[in-house]
Each structure stands twice: as C-alpha cells, then as structure tokens.
Structure 1
Amino acid sequence: MTIDDFVMLGKTVPEPQSDGRTFVCSAGVSSTLRELIRVYPLGRYGAPRRWSVSQVPLERNPKDSRRESFKVAGDRSPGAHDHINDAFTTVRPEYPKAGRIELLAPYEVASIKEANARKMSLAVIHPEHLDINFDHNPESPDSPQLALFDSGKPEPQGAKRFAYIPRIHFRDSERENHLMLRDWGCFEFMRKYGDGRRGELPDALHMTPSSSLLVGNFNRHRSSWLVISVLNGLREAPGLFGLSDAA
C-alpha cells in the first residue's frame, strides 16, 4: 500500500539497537487512511520534517497489533535500514496552517481516559496548565553523581544517556498527568546546549497555554502514554479563567 498524504507530526529520540541499527519512531496523519498513524522504525537520517506531506509505501508491522501502526515497506536488514527513509517522497514541503485544525480535529480527545476507552494508541489533547519538568537519570554518564564511573557497565544510549529526562505536566478533563516527552528536538537541544540550558526547552518548543500535545501509548503497556510532540496552531489561546477570548 502506498499513500501520498502522510503528514509528519513528530519523531522520537533515536534509540540504538543491539544489531547496530538506530530506530526512530514517527507519527503523523493520513486522510486516505482516516487515522493518525505510527510509522516505525525509521532510520536516523533523512526523515521528513514536521508538517511536510509525503508519499510513502507502507505495510503492517507484524510485531505491533495497534491499528495505527505501520512500517515503511522495504528491506530492514542492518545495512539497508540506514537508507529506509529514502522511501519517503516529498509531495508538499508544508501542510497549510489554515487547514491544520480541521485535519486533526477528528483525533482530539478530552483525556487520556477517553483515549483508552476508545482503544486509541495515538491522539491529540488540548491540555490545561502545561509545563515541563525533569526526572534526574543517575545512570547517565553525564549525571552529576557519575553513577557509571568504573561501574563496568556499558554506557546507556538514546534517551537514557541524558542526565535529565523531560516530562510534561498537564491537566486533561479528568486528571493531572506527568508524561515522558520523547520529542527528538528536545533531546537535540539538550545535546547541543547542555543540561544547564534545559530550562529553555519551553521556549525552544514554542510552548504556550494554547499548545496541544500529540500523545501515544506503549505497545507493551497500552494504558501508559508519552508525549511525542508539542503542536501549535490547533486551538485558540485560552483567555481569563481558561475561557477563550471570544467566549
């Protein structure tokens, strides 16, 4: 199956595998499939940019029964995997901003509880009281505690190599949530500028009270969720007392 309307919405931090491959998970939307869809594993280099529109050949991932999950059709052996992203062909460099609210409106949920009840594995949430904080990761080689010093253990890779793991705290219609943020851009920011500037992440993400979240669950623990990306321009900014200015 080939679709020509895959709109990229987010990519997660690259995670090295034991066979030498590096996996990136991506999520987007296809009007043809009438779904938010997960396309993984991608290679590290050459994945489409956020909001770009691509043609891509897809097939079901036999290791993932979630209805939204696909993989790029093609050779996935270690050598070939590095070039799997070449299967994407750009149709449009950017999906029009004016159409994004309508594009993603069918996949909005009021809460994680609603997403679970509907057996969704990807969803868009318009949260309240949005902010970022961090979990300290003592196993990181960059940890202030230097936990790996002379430990004999291999250094962790991917997200686990960072001394501070970002989480997004927000309220949905049911409860407070504290979800891991796996947006690749966040980890690139910390890699480039260091942990000392992690407090600048909200600005780097252009996070405001009107930001939305693309969330996804885990294949093995489907009631557990993470934030894939922070999206903007999908709703009006909240006004006084959480109401829109037009209310």
Structure 2
Amino acid sequence: MMVLDDFVMLGTTVPEPNSDGRVFVCSAGYSATLRSLVRVYPLARHGAPARWSVNTVRLERNPRDSRPESYRLAGDRRPGVHQHINRVFEATGTVPRTARAELLRRCTVSSIAEANDRRLSLAILHADAMELEFEHNPASPDSPQLALFDVGTEIPAGARRFPYIPRLRFADDRGPHRLMLRDWGVYELMRKHNNLTQLSDTQRRRYVGEALHLDPSCSLLVGNLNNQRTAWLVISVLRGLRAAPSLFDAMETAA
C-alpha cells in the first residue's frame, strides 16, 4: 500500500454499473511525488473529491491493470460497502489557479501519437480546433426513436443509457481526432436537462459547449483504454493551462 499526500483530482468519468450491483467511477489526477498523472479507480458514485482539490489517499496497485499510472483505492470494495470507499480521500487544500499550468507542464504532449510512442496512458493535450458533437445512440431508452419498444430488452445503463453520446473533434500536431467525451459533469448536465432531447443538434452543442466553457484556451485530459492501449477518450476539459490565443496569433495563422 502507498499513501499519497499530494493527489490532485483532475476529473471523473460517468458512473458505470458493475455486474454485481456496484457502481464504478474512474478518476484521474496528478501527484508531484510520483511526478506523473495518476489513474485511480474504481471510485464510488458519491463523495468523489472536487476538481483541483489536493488529497491524501491510500492506494495500491490494481492486479488487473498493468498501466504504470493506474492504481486503485486501498479500501473495502465488497458490494454493499463499496459505496463508501471514497471516504479514504482526505481533502487538504486546493491548487490555486495561478499554479495549475506549471503543475501539469511535464504531463503535456503534442499529440496522441506522442503519447502512444512514449507508452503513456494519461496525458494533457493542448488541442486545436475543438468542436463538440453528439452521436445518436438508438439503443437508449430515452432515444427519440424509442428503439427499446420490446419489454424484454435489457435497459442500458451508464453512458449507454443516454440518447446522445458526446464526442470532441480536435486536431493535434499529428492530425485530427474524434474522441468520446466521458466527463461526468457533461452526462450529469444531460441527465438534469432531460438528456437535451428537445433541442436541435446546434442548440445541444452550443448549450453543452457553453457549460464546459469550451474555447481555444482549453486543454484536454486524455486517457487510453486498458484493453486497447491505442484507443483514447477525453476524461476532462481543463482550463487555465495555456494562454488564450491573441489577435496577433490569429493573424499569424491566417497568414
């Protein structure tokens, strides 16, 4: 077991049900002690630390995940008890806005390809031309097409229960990407607003984009999949890690 006293929470993903009834949340943060980004899972649905909070937490290696950045909480994960496992986090402070860029500077890569070449499983990416879009999910019970008309059909849970799956289009130094956005806050926003099914695609993208404060100054916390190491998703949209482009920058790009 290892005790980290400087785990900075950066993001949590949409809760997903396990076959035994537990609900799992994946999180990612940073530790100056480890000098790297850190993946911690499975968390419980309730009581996860706030973004940018500094925490003391007991961790151990996950025998089912060989990625160097991956750990699990050192606590009781049995069904019925797992829902309280987030109590092992002890918040001790918050990273000031002015210190965030320097804190995560060493974790920044120029492209997904660079992250693959370095065999990273988590990275910060200063993406360009970011654009939010939504992929229709006809298997959702809330789909406008009412795909699940068969009473005997198993109702999807987690991200699959939403009628629209958010994705981010962007470019890095090696080309374009279209990754699934798994940020819990985005799915919670959709849940609270009836999955935004009544909005047009343009309205939906504008509404969620404004809630994310998605603009050219944003950065992306990205992570790969344990069973497919070159497949990536966006864990969180982060702000304050790079300067917003100036008018002069825009003129240079146009030239």
Task: Normalising by structure 2, report the TM-score.
Answer: 0.93
Equivalent residue number for residue 224 of structure 1 = 231
Aligned pairs for 1:226-241 within 5 A: 226-240=233-247
| Cα displacement (A) at 1:231 | 0.2
Alignment partner, residue 40 of structure 2: 39
Q: In 1, distance between residues paired with 2:37 and 2:178?
A: 22
**In structure 2, what is the Cα distance between the partners aligned to 1:136 and 1:49?**
30
Q: Matched residue of 1:178: which SS?
A: strand
Q: Aligned partner of 1:124: which letter? A: I
- Equivalent positions of 1:93-132 (< 5 A) are 94-132=94-132
User: Where in structure 1 are there 5+ consecutive unaligned residues?
Assistant: none
The whole-number CA distance in structure 2 between the counterparts of 1:3 and 1:127 is: 30
Instruction: State the alpha-carbon separation in 2 of the partners of residues 184 and 216 from structure 1.
Output: 14
1:73 aligned onto 2:80: no
Partner of 1:28: 29
The one-letter amino acid paired with 1:34 is R
When structure 1 is superposed on structure 2, of 192-201 and 109-118 the one drifting more is: 192-201
Q: Deviations over 1:190-239 (max 9, x none)?
A: 00013235331111111111100000000000000000000000001123
Alignment of 1:1-247 (within 5 A): 1-92=2-93, 94-150=94-150, 152-194=152-194, 195=196, 196=198, 198-199=204-205, 200-240=207-247, 242=249
How many aligned residue pairs are there?
A: 244
User: 1:53 offset after TM fit, Å?
Assistant: 0.6
Deviation at 1:144, TM superposition (A): 1.4
Note the C-alpha offset of 1:240.
Answer: 4.2
Work out the CA distance in 2 between the residues paired with 1:31 and 1:207: 27
**CA separation in 2, counterparts of 1:209 and 1:13?**
24
Amino acid at match of 2:238: L
For 2:149 and 2:247, the matched residues in 1 are separated by 51
Tell me which stretches of 4 or more aligned residues in structure 1 moved more than 2 Å. 196-199, 239-245
Q: Which moved more, 1:197-206 or 1:139-148?
A: 197-206
The 1-side partners of 2:19 and 2:251 are apart by 49
3-state SS, counterpart of residue 83 of structure 1: helix
Cα offset, 1:80, TM superposition: 1.4
Q: Where does the alignment leave 5 or more consecutive residues of structure 2 unmatched?
A: none
Looking at structure 2, the residues matched to 169 and 178 of structure 1 have their Cα atoms a distance apart, in angstroms, of 4
Partner Cα distance (1:51, 1:205) in 2: 16
Between the two proteins, what is the percent identity of the paired residues? 59
Provide the rounded CA distance (Å) in 2 between the counterparts of 1:173 and 1:223. Answer: 17
Partner amino acid, structure 2, of 1:90: A
CA separation in 1, counterparts of 2:28 and 2:190? Answer: 22
CA RMSD, aligned part only? 1.4
Distance in 2 between residues matched to 1:2 and 1:209, nearest whole Å: 37
Shift of residue 151 of structure 1?
5.2
